[in-house]
Amino acid sequence: MWVYLEIAPDGPGLRVELVKGDRKVGRYPILYDATCRAVAETVPDVDALEGVVIPDSLGGGYNFDASLLILQLRLETTSGLQKLPIKVRFDEDDGDRYDSFCKQFNQSGVDEERRAAIGVFLAHRLVEPTQTCPPRTAAVQRYIDQVAGRPWFPQGRHNQANRWGPYVFFRVVEQLDSACSAARESIERRMFEEPYLKRLADNFQAEALSKKLRDELRSEQLWLRDSLRAKDGGRKILVVEDQLDEGWDEVYKALFDSSDAHVSMVWATTVDEARASFAKDIDLVVLDVRLDPKDDVSVTPEEVVPTGVLLAKELRNACSTVPILAGTASNKTWIMEPLLKEGIQGYWVKESPEQAGSLTHATRNVIDLYKMTREILKWSDRTRPWIEGLYAIANEVAETDVRQGNILEDKAHSLHALLHRAFSPFSRELDDGLQLNVAFLIVFSCMNDLRAWCCRVEEKEDGGKDWITAEEIGGDMLVTKRRRGSHKGGPKFVYKVEGSDKESEAFPDTEASKMLLIKLGCATKGTVFRKLKNEVRNAIPLTHGVSDAETVLGGPGRTATDDDIADMLGILQTVVEKRRSVTRGSG
């Protein structure tokens, strides 16, 4: 029994309709892979068939290429259609079309003898095919290598290539979760219309992952899931990708476990949509570098800046603390270099048909994506509150004291630069101990600036000074500087904190800050501040990053912790909040 593929099945025998796509420019494209699937689904036993009969053309209302349908049938390794003879049926008296078809095959190196070897036969008349034989396996493989060994991409290379990445992602993750097969099959139905991609996918079918690699993938999935749930109030992820409907929406839903109530996904397919969706409460931006190649900006005839790079710069200017993970199917330096300049936190190279490897290679790439995403979120969770907290303090102070506000803003910039972990394939991260020590020193030093903000200074004729709290705080004396004789031919001055009998030749920073906190009504914070000064500030090694270096007190060193930095920032925020509250109350 032969199966006939027709646009409008009519007549005796087994007939299957050619599947057509949506109408474009007045013509219906024939979907060749979908047609092969229709045959496999219609015929209960493909092995019982004698062969397949296809038309040589369909007329002006359709985009149809019989050679593409032949190639798709020869690529059908799983359904069994690859083993069946194919007869191309021509209208009875149209010898010109027959000659043109033969010429087309001959130009691709497939003459009559090779057509027979791959099981393809031509007929002039509407008669039952005769004198046919099954294709030879070796000949079919050579034919596929020759004809499908390079991309066709009739619908545009950018769109077609973008389908490969989601397909490979789900080929990987379905190794752990069979439910992901549905997403992979959905992508296949679109992607396999491109013979080149269908052939590449066939190379993944037989490979199995090692237990070690499966375990590593599973661990990274679970660790990222824990990281997504670690933040109170949940996560908000902005995905900027112009090819969401090619399967990337499903990829990122799976990556971020979007079914979990802790995760909120925000989608953008254009630059304008990304601008409208971006906000400071975003936890991570996943950015496609080449949103649409036609929108890339030419700086010079030789230099092109991808749209995604320009958007990354814009988002950086809008809120520099929101981390960005860039994704692209290209690893070309002209794309990577401008991204590095913008200080992105991660750069992930999507799987591309031009770099197609093995399932093992693809799995390692997916593991890298999970790991990179987790590490970006983890570091952002640790450091972003410190950076944004210090910027907020600087802004608050600047409203009433521009000079002190600028000093604090400079320190916030320094903290940001210190803790900003930008992706670079050429650099090593700073040692955590060194980063945290310097971060603590920056934040700790801001107490002096806030004390200056909360006080006014009165100069004395003899060179003495009084530090008096601002009127809205109470207008109380905080520190005095008084002359006590002379020293080495010049006047000698001593400092004393109000309420204390102790005098010192150096400004009593710690005691003055503690007394300010007491006057602001937060004596407990003053105790914490003094503890941080003695047990952390004075215990940080003189040689930063060297744990056994001497401290200012000559004892063993220690490294500042996350809690130390958070406690110190909390003290600064308390000072700002207390002054704000009394200022508004007095107003």
How high is the pLDDT of residue 258?
Answer: 84
Domain identity same for 226 and 290? yes
Q: Is 85 inside any structural domain? A: yes
Structural domain boundaries, residue 554: 451-586
**Cα distance between residue 166 and residue 30, in whole Å:** 24
Do 97 and 168 belong to one domain?
Answer: no
Q: Is residue 416 in a domain?
A: no
Query: What number of CA atoms fall less than 13 Å from residue 16's CA on the CB side?
Result: 22
Of the candidate ranges 20-34, 93-107, 567-581, the one whose mean pLDDT is the lowest:
93-107
268 and 213 share one domain: yes
State whether 141 and 162 are in the same domain.
Answer: no
Does any domain span residue 444?
no
Residue 64 lies in a domain: yes
Question: Cβ atoms within 10 A of the Cβ of 556, count?
Answer: 12
Residue that is last in its domain, among 386, 408, 429: 386
Q: Say how far apart CA 496 and CA 506 lie, in whole Å.
A: 10
164 and 137 in one domain? no
- Report residue 381's pLDDT band, with 50, 70 and 90 as the boundaries: very high
Q: How confident is the model at residue 216, as a pLDDT?
A: 96
Q: How many domains does the chain have?
A: 3
Q: Is the pLDDT of residue 551 over 50?
A: no
Identify the burial level of 305 via C-beta atoms within 10 angstroms of its C-beta, where 0-12 means exposed, 13-18 middle and 19 or more buried: middle
Assess if residue 355 is contained within a domain: yes
Please name the residues in contact with 515: beta carbons below 8 A apart, sequence gap of 6 or more.
478, 479, 497, 498, 499, 500, 526
> Does residue 21 lie in a domain region?
yes
Confidence of residue 585 (pLDDT cuts 50, 70, 90): low
Kindly report which listed range (204-208, 249-253, 282-286, 414-418) carries the lowest average pLDDT score: 204-208
Which of 82, 114, 147 delimits the end of a domain? 147
- Cα end-to-end distance, the chain, whole Å: 95
Q: Is residue 413 part of a domain?
A: no
Note whether 512 and 467 are within 8 A (CB).
Answer: yes
Most confident of 76-85, 233-242, 532-541: 233-242
Whether the CB-CB separation of 75 and 202 falls below 8 Å is answered with yes
The yes-or-no verdict on residue 135 having pLDDT over 60 is yes
% residues pLDDT > 90 (the chain) = 49
State whether 193 and 88 are in the same domain.
no
- Residue 255 sits in the same domain as residue 200: yes
Q: Are residues 129 and 170 in the same domain?
A: no
**Are 88 and 186 in a shared domain?**
no
User: Each residue of 541-554: b (16+ CB within 10 Å) or e?
Assistant: beebeeeeeeeeee
The one-letter amino acid code at 400 reads T
- Do you know the residue count of the chain? 587
- List, in order, residues 6 or more apart from 253 with CB less than 8 Å away: 259, 265
Q: 468: which strand partners? A: 456, 477
Give yes or no: residues 57 and 172 share one domain.
no
- Euclidean distance between CA atoms 32 and 29, whole angstroms: 9
Q: What is the CATH number of the domain that holds 246?
A: 3.40.50.2300
Q: What amino acid occupies position 384?
A: R
Within 10 angstroms of residue 169's Cβ, the number of other Cβ atoms is: 27
User: In whole angstroms, what is the distance from residue 123 CA to residue 66 CA?
Assistant: 14
- pTM here? 0.83
Query: d(Cα 475, Cα 283) in Å, to the nearest integer?
Result: 43
Rounded to whole angstroms, how far apart are CA atoms 336 and 279? 25
The answer to whether 240 and 268 are in contact (CB under 8 A) is yes
Specify whether the CB–CB gap between 262 and 230 falls below 8 A: no
Query: If pLDDT is split at 50, 70 and 90, which confidence band does 430 have?
Result: low
How far is it, in rounded angstroms, from Cα 551 to Cα 440? 15
Provide the pLDDT for residue 103: 78
pLDDT in tens, 444-453: 999 999 999 9
Last residue of a domain, one of 113, 147, 181: 147
Based on the fold, state whether residues 231 and 189 are members of the same structural domain.
yes
Q: 334, 369, 352: which is closest to 164 by C-alpha?
A: 352
Residues 338 and 270 in one domain: yes
Q: Return d(Cα 224, Cα 229) in angstroms, integer.
A: 9
Confidence of residue 547 (pLDDT cuts 50, 70, 90): very low
Q: What is the pLDDT of residue 373?
A: 95
CA–CA gap between residue 142 and residue 256 (Å, rounded) = 42
Determine, yes or no, domain membership for 523.
yes
